[in-house]
Chain A
Amino acid sequence: MQASHAHGDLTPQLIGTPIWYDQAVAAAGIPIYDVPMVSVGGGLGSFILTDVLRIQGAPASAIKVVSNSETPWQSWEYLTRVSQLPAHERIRSDAGARPDNLWGFPSYALHEAWQDKSLALVWQVLVEPVFADFFSPRAGTVFATVQKEAQRIGYWDMLASGQVRMVRRRAGGGYFTLVTPPAGTTPTKRIAIRSRYVHLAVGYPGLKFLPDLQEFRETHNDYHRVVNAYEPHEHVYEFLKSRPGAVVVRGAGIVASRVLQRLIDDRERLGLQTQIVQVFRTYIAGTHGPGVWMRRKGGDGWAYQAFTFPKSAFGGQLKAQFRAAQGDKRKELSKAVGGTTTPRLRRWQGQLQRGRQGGWYHAVQAIVEKVEPTRDGRLLSHIRSDNGQRNQIASDFVIDCTGLEADMAEHRVLADLLQNGGARRNGAGRLAVGPNFEVLGAESGDGALYASGAATGGNHFLAVDSFMGMQTAALDIAADLARRGFVRRLGPVRSTGQWVKWALGRPV
């Protein structure tokens, strides 16, 4: 008899059942493996949680990280590299935010100072941000230190290669994580991991495109001249090296800053004639904010902020205020501190100043109504400014620097969780989670499902999508798991002992 599905694959019955019985999974011929904790994602979010759990006493054999990524930094490394942040460049992150070191001591500033045998970095971190820009680590420092820590905690033993298709609640408690392992590595197409706890850290579902640019790409099938900064676009810089050209940069955040830096670095280093027009949808002319206690610096179009949120959102006053606030107050706070920002780095200020003086960098406030190809193979952006004035900008390329996809339902596992797993969206459209980052509505008997990273925005904590935010989530999840008896508490004695092991490079 030929079944409508292969043995060891999903059945329509399983797909249509929110809560799975062991027998139903077994009857479908899907092999079941048992492990207490599964982390889905395999990026820095999974790495940081496993690091904390290992430090709090979980054996490596109790955790499986299911991922398509070979390393925890793979996806982040890709996104930073294509968005013009190669390993030697400095990221936008505080010295004390170390994914490889949950104590944040010694900071990345001291680490790099020791490596470089340079006191300049110690001086910078001492006088920041008053007499110097905030210290930020090199991207390469993060890769290298995470690699070392991964080795120390036995991360590679916990990593299981495969694509997670869905996480379903299990009758009797806990969860099934349905995995499609790489073809040919298992006898069946799918395997199921049965666990009491699941953690989701799946990152961003994809790239976000501005509607007019998406329309252009689809209408004209041109993926060459209109590019997203988070996709490979080295050809733009190569073209500009071969002949003079004009580029429109859309966006006002950190990625726009980096793309401008690359364009200007090339221009100044190689003597190019590149013309740059930056289109700001919201043009910030100066200091702004709702009151004297909340004034953010800005100017020349940009809103300036050292990190993705005011520093105290990561572990200070704003974090406490936001956590205590409810409903409208929380929304109000979120609005006041949100928005697109970039750090006010001395290097970038100098570059843009030279651009303005030399007449090769122009900033305009406008919304772009549409982009069209011209007969001579260029692009024409039709813009309208807030005062109603219409204009056109001709360019060879448009670089969209407006960001990553934030709609969680675009991610298959999260979409399934919302549809079948009991999870619900919060006011910001992300996953509603409780104070321990447990996904609300997805509880299953004595099991718990947690999430961290971008998917958990819009809850009690603003800075979820950051190294320190993921550590915060990991510590809160681990504290909850300690109450449930899965790991030990992280008191001063264990913490100090584990730090000493970290410092000596000894296994946990």
Chain B
Amino acid sequence: MTPTLFGRIQTRLFTLGTIGVVLTALIVPVLPGTTGGLGATYKTAYLILLAVAVVGVGWELLYHLLMQFRWDKDWPTLFGLVTILNEGALMFLLLRAGVVPGIGGKVAVSTFVTMFVFVWMGVWLVANGPLRVPFVQWRLRGGRFL
């Protein structure tokens, strides 16, 4: 991909707000390690998704800076995949530190990893191909929808 800064942010918010929301809805009922009712798990899961979106804007700023060292000003497909590691790790630490608003209890490692990997992989796969189908100009405008 060859995103611009605004393209990155828009793509992140749009994909998490659509594909991310749907995939979260699908995975929550089968998440391992949950305690409490389904409603509570949904609430926690969507709060995590929201946190990933918000913190993600910060990550995008960093990625954009790093991309400037690349002559092609591109963001290889592989980078979009491996950044699951740093982003997942930070989000988990934030959860454990109890600083994600609205999430009081402890989120189990298995719960977090299952949800995070599932949603991330889904968003990454869609962003690397199928997203171009409804939005022809998206890839030609550095990932901007607007």
> Which residues from chain A sit less than 8 Å from chain B, CB to CB?
96, 102-107, 110, 125-131, 289, 292-297, 305-306, 310-312, 314-320, 468, 471-472, 475, 490, 492-493, 495-496, 499
B interface majority secondary structure: loop
Contact A102:B77 (CB < 8 A) given known A289-B71, A317-B2: no
Expressed in whole angstroms, the minimum distance between the Cβ of A467 and any Cβ of chain B is: 12
A-B contact pairs, 20 of them (CB 8 A): A96-B132, A102-B136, A103-B133, A105-B129, A126-B78, A310-B71, A311-B74, A312-B142, A314-B2, A315-B142, A316-B7, A316-B143, A317-B3, A317-B142, A318-B73, A319-B2, A320-B142, A490-B136, A495-B135, A495-B136
Interface residue total, chain B, C-beta cutoff 8 A? 29
Q: Is the CB of A104 within 8 A of B68?
A: no
CA A279 to CA B72, docked complex, whole Å:
27
Q: Is the CB of B137 within 8 A of A475?
A: yes
* Residue from A104, A105, A125, A297 within 8 A of B77 (CB atoms): A125
Expressed in whole angstroms, the minimum distance between the Cβ of A70 and any Cβ of chain B is: 29
At the interface, yes or no: B121 with Cβ under 8 Å from chain A? no
Q: Is the CB of A105 within 8 A of B76?
A: no
Expressed in whole angstroms, the minimum distance between the Cβ of B74 and any Cβ of chain A is: 4
Which residues of the other chain, A, contact B3 by a CB distance below 8 angstroms? 316-317
Which residues of the other chain, B, contact A292 by a CB distance below 8 angstroms? 69
CA A319 to CA B140, docked complex, whole Å:
9
Question: Which of A306, A315, A320, A475 has the most chain B CB atoms closer than 10 A to its own CB?
Answer: A315
Which residues of the other chain, B, contact A472 by a CB distance below 8 angstroms? 140
Nearest-CB residue, chain B, relative to A316: B2
Q: Is the CB of B73 within 8 A of A312?
A: yes
Contact A475:B140 (CB < 8 A) given known A310-B73, A316-B2: yes
CA A493 to CA B3, docked complex, whole Å:
24
CA A197 to CA B135, docked complex, whole Å:
26
CA A23 to CA B129, docked complex, whole Å:
53
Which residues of the other chain, B, contact A128 by a CB distance below 8 angstroms? 76-78
Q: Is the CB of A312 within 8 A of B139?
A: no
At the interface, yes or no: B134 with Cβ under 8 Å from chain A? yes
